[in-house]
Amino acid sequence: MSKIKPSKGAPYARILGVGGYRPTRVVPNEVILETIDSSDEWIRSRSGIETRHWANDEETVAAMSIEASGKAIADAGISAEQIGGVIVSTVSHFKQTPAVATEIADRLGTNKAAAFDISAGCAGFGYGLTLAKGMVVEGSAEYVLVIGVERLSDLTDLEDRATAFLFGDGAGAVVVGPSKEPAIGPTVWGSEGDKSETIKQTVPWTDYREGQVAKFPAITQEGQAVFRWAVFEMAKVAQQALDVAGISSSELDVFIPHQANERIIDSMVKTLKLPEHVTVARDVRTTGNTSAASIPLAMERLLATGEAKSGDTALVIGFGAGLVYAATVVTLP
């Protein structure tokens, strides 16, 4: 028989607060058209994107995260000292070590919170949310800060007609804490590494360092392959998340998919046969694809505008490079 005492965590976990930060610079499609042969109409029809935000030198990954986190902590009604864990999902923090989460935890004023980064691309927020839920229920932290943050403008090839218009910068954060009732459902997540070439960094950092390539590495993708995978396979994952949470589409209030492309969002809504009353996040139009930051940013905007309200039941799903995915049903804070 084991002599280890059982953990004393909460019976359940929930999202208690949300915050977001968008860089001050707004970049319309016209700026993108200065370096690629395309049109505003083509970009909007293919992606739904009208504008995106690009960070300046002061709007670092850490700085944007701290802004978003401060709002989330205030929204949760707790203090930074109560945060026991900080999880940051990002692919655009260019220091291999230390994790940017440690800097954020310190600058926020946490009491030596556990802090680490994860790399799960556009599904990163879902991965972080799942880890945070486990920490709260297991008892290793009462409150966990989950941050999705990107400066994808640093990894954008402005001469790549397929991707130059897609990416934006920003940070979204949520506080996960104890709950007396289920408020974060089981996660349906996974990976399909055989499709890793469909979204990737153009070359390894070492190729650039050693002078084998002159162009700074960027994110590239096979657009049609990614579109087909997202439309046909991710709708199935989203449905599985509803099923394991015991929620029907008619009981759903809000749908917050990764803000990759509005055509993908429309196709998923159609495939899932979501009722007209379900509010659908379309933050991609003015924020672009911000990878790990897209779901919490979209959540924050829906709540701020009143399109969604506290207590609503929302289906969230992220999917992207890896290929990886994560979907779950949550109660909005």
- Give catalytic residue positions: 122, 258, 289
Could you give the residue ranges of the DSSP H alpha helices within the chain?
Answer: 29-32, 40-47, 61-76, 100-108, 124-138, 205-209, 223-245, 262-272, 284-287, 294-305
Residue 225's identity, in one-letter code, is A
Q: Do 251 and 112 touch, CB atoms closer than 8 A?
A: no
Q: Do 188 and 240 touch, CB atoms closer than 8 A?
A: yes
Cα distance from N-terminal residue to C-terminal residue, the chain: 41
CA angle (233, 241, 254) in 5-degree steps: 100
Q: Report in angstroms the alpha-carbon separations of 56 from 26, 151, 197.
A: 11, 10, 30
Q: Tokens at residue 13, please?
A: 């976990």
Q: Report in angstroms the alpha-carbon separations of 31 from 51, 178, 318.
A: 10, 45, 28
Q: How far apart are CA 321 and CA 309, in angstroms?
A: 31
Residue 247's identity, in one-letter code, is I
Among 263, 295, 249, residue whose Cα is nearest residue 89: 295
Q: Tokens at residue 260, please?
A: 């990759």
- 291 torsion bin: left (phi>0), alpha (psi -120 to 50), beta (else): left
Residue 70's identity, in one-letter code, is G
Q: What are phi and psi of 325, to 5 degrees?
A: -155, 155
Q: How far apart are CA 321 and CA 220, in angstroms?
A: 10
